[in-house]
Structure 1
């Protein structure tokens, strides 16, 4: 056997190990994927894995980079110079063709977003690697916007480009993650997102200072938001303390890694106490999602429950309330999104509960937009598409905030998302007859 043949076989085995790692992480999460499981999945020995990758941390980092480099060869470079009048066409070409999570080369994004949503005390090398790769993409998109905006002042133009870069990547990430668990109309969502980004860009060209400070109308809408309400649960009860511990552990490292032992350690109770209230781990997390949903509705109620007037600028005020409400469910959103990124055959009962909560939230957004745009009331498919874009961008902005290590309110995006959705929706509304003009 020649040296070249040996090297070829070794590379093939390494690739099998990396592919197996990506498969198992998507199925079970970071913590639950072991070197032994990877070796079994790849049909290799554990000693081979350890010899070539040393440890789990390095194995996972190399698996993520392996998937990233496979995908990069077919990904847009965002390097072209695009005149403003051709931005929308270039946006559609560059970023917004829907790439299903099952497509080859998307594993790095699925894996990276899982790690990005976690909040471990010590960050795995794979998460740092994903943050680096995502940062490169964000930088390329920001530079693309900087070259295409009609803003003379360089500082204002870069501020606008950074805002649009973050919004663009958030829309792409958010639509990717929503396509995991929802049926998305590719054409409708693409039309809305492209027109929405172009609408925000045009607004920033007209008023560049909007990227540096919240416009007065948006500031008033945010200032008028109610304070968070009190929780209606007895936080001293053992059952609630167990659920709060499960919430804390799962939001940090995901449901797969949130063992009974970790929950016991967090709440300071014995396994017997947990099994008194819950028959198993699945029962804990099914109850947790239901608990967090009710608690969220108590502390950050829907607009219809607090008498929001929506008078001066209905869409702007609705958006402020929607983002305030979303910010109040950070752990519910984080746990749900991490679970959605896993394969569908894990934690099915908890997943179904998360999907039920998400469906209720989607209906809430559909109702809100139908009030803002009466034309939507006659097209259920279009209204669903609008709600899914709202979900995608909200999720994407939340993920971006989590990856950056922030935990503030998302209401800073009130005018941006309002302008984005207004422009996007108007681009897909049915053509009106002469009598409507």
Structure 2
């Protein structure tokens, strides 16, 4: 090849890389703000000016394109977020844990893969299996780094054998839950403060040093959980249909036509009950999101006599409710992760419900705070931390982690939260 031909080849290669980069950037921008289903080839062509044939030259289909965009965003993030280093013995563990947890909290385009991944994680659709699996692979890289860190930290622990391995896995699961839940909270618009992260580090550090935590002391088969009855009225039928369709197809593809077909009702029935799709989905969120009801019930019944056992059972109820009825929580998260104009009413309703849940948790947690605590924000921070960890564990369960077993984690989580408040308050 002569010099001129070589230069032309290099220019063509560079131009091709720039075109590919433009396609990926547009895909990331659309998918991370409006959902991966909005990142159609037609939309990307409109955004970039790149023809559909050129897009298909680089990517065989839309799934491959979104997967490549997710991978690109993940690699971008890894360049600026340091890995957790094995540095046991270099200062107090809790300080190193706090520093590690403080890293990588940005929600800019470089963390778009996380938003895209969480979206496909909470969708219950066979259409996104390949994307969900790809996100799991990326997420597992982070999980393995966390696991290695905790395994090194507990190398000299009095716990031995299987008991130590179980504790390492538990600490890793809870750490991952904070990272997942914190991202959801940030994407929604509620930034988690350094203090909340530090409180969690306090609780995890205490759990790492703890002996055996007593198991949950009740039979789940006898525990009352609100399972929805079969819908009867046309309004309930439409709410149930919307929950099913959105979980199956995502927000943007959940059309009025699909919802009415699922409900076996004409569109006129929907418009008689709801002004539009946004109002319908807002009603779905409102109808199904009362996951912290047991905390409200116990606080009303027992007031200041609420015990640690009561709190543990209430948290188990919350997790069991999520496991048995995940639909409305999925929709709330899916709506919250969208930045477009559509879905604004549902996002607003979800934000309102989260605020109400935080107030319910704060009231329940108040009676658990040690005597002498005077900081009014401490309880609110602990309630927020509880919700963040719950969100993260829910995402993990949708990916198959601790599936059907979240309620069994209640004693350990209450142990973490109790030690977080005691250590932060400085009151024994």
TM more than 0.5: yes
Instruction: Rate the CA distance shift 1:428–1:346 in 2: closer, same or farther, 3 A.
Output: farther
Q: Could you list the runs of 5+ residues in structure 1 that have no partner in the other structure?
A: none
Q: Is contact 1:260–1:281 with CA below 8 Å preserved after alignment?
A: yes
Aligned to 1:318: 311
TM-score, length basis structure 2: 0.88
Q: Greater shift after overlay, 333-342 or 76-85?
A: 76-85
Instruction: Rate the CA distance shift 1:301–1:82 in 2: closer, same or farther, 3 A.
Output: closer
Give the Cα–Cα distance (whole angstroms) in 2 for the partners of residues 393 and 90 of structure 1.
Answer: 20
> Aligned pair count?
417
Query: Residues 76-135 of structure 1, C-alpha deviation per residue, up to 9 Å, x if partnerless?
Result: 323424239632222223233361313x41111111111111111243432211101111
Q: Is contact 2:299–2:364 with CA below 8 Å preserved after alignment?
A: no
Give the Cα–Cα distance (whole angstroms) in 2 for the partners of residues 125 and 249 of structure 1.
Answer: 20
Query: Residues 374-411 of structure 1, C-alpha deviation per residue, up to 9 Å, x if partnerless?
Result: 66974333322211111111111111111117652522
Give the Cα–Cα distance (whole angstroms) in 2 for the partners of residues 381 and 183 of structure 1.
Answer: 15
Q: Could you list the runs of 5+ residues in structure 2 that have no partner in the other structure?
A: 1-6
Give the Cα–Cα distance (whole angstroms) in 1 for the partners of residues 227 and 152 of structure 2.
Answer: 48
Give the Cα–Cα distance (whole angstroms) in 2 for the partners of residues 81 and 67 of structure 1.
Answer: 28
- Alignment of 1:169 onto 2:176: yes
- Alignment of 1:133 onto 2:130: no
CA apart distance, 1:219: 2.1
Correspondences of 1:185-196 after superposition (within 5 Å): 185-196=192-203
Q: Is contact 2:186–2:192 with CA below 8 Å preserved after alignment?
A: no
Aligned to 1:387: 383
- Alignment of 1:24 onto 2:30: yes
Instruction: Rate the CA distance shift 1:365–1:376 in 2: closer, same or farther, 3 A.
Output: farther
Coordinate RMSD, CA, aligned: 2.7
Correspondences of 1:137-152 after superposition (within 5 Å): 137-149=142-154, 150-151=157-158
Q: Is contact 1:289–1:354 with CA below 8 Å preserved after alignment?
A: yes
Instruction: Rate the CA distance shift 1:23–1:163 in 2: closer, same or farther, 3 A.
Output: same
Aligned to 1:227: 224
Aligned to 1:307: 301
Give the Cα–Cα distance (whole angstroms) in 1 for the partners of residues 222 and 374 of structure 2.
Answer: 31
- Alignment of 1:117 onto 2:122: yes
CA apart distance, 1:33: 2.4
Give the Cα–Cα distance (whole angstroms) in 2 for the partners of residues 284 and 338 of structure 1.
Answer: 15
- Alignment of 1:419 onto 2:415: yes
- Alignment of 1:332 onto 2:328: yes
Give the Cα–Cα distance (whole angstroms) in 1 for the partners of residues 299 and 236 of structure 2.
Answer: 25
Correspondences of 1:7-406 after superposition (within 5 Å): 7-83=13-89, 86-97=92-103, 99-102=105-108, 104-149=109-154, 150-151=157-158, 153-203=160-210, 206-207=211-212, 210=213, 215-216=214-215, 218-220=216-218, 226-229=223-226, 235-293=231-289, 302-304=296-298, 307=301, 314-329=307-322, 330-343=326-339, 345-373=341-369, 378-404=374-400
Q: Greater shift after overlay, 412-421 or 264-273?
A: 264-273
TM-score, length basis structure 1: 0.87
Give the Cα–Cα distance (whole angstroms) in 2 for the partners of residues 234 and 399 of structure 1.
Answer: 26
Counterpart secondary structure, 1:107: helix
Counterpart secondary structure, 1:167: helix
CA apart distance, 1:362: 0.6
Aligned to 1:3: 9
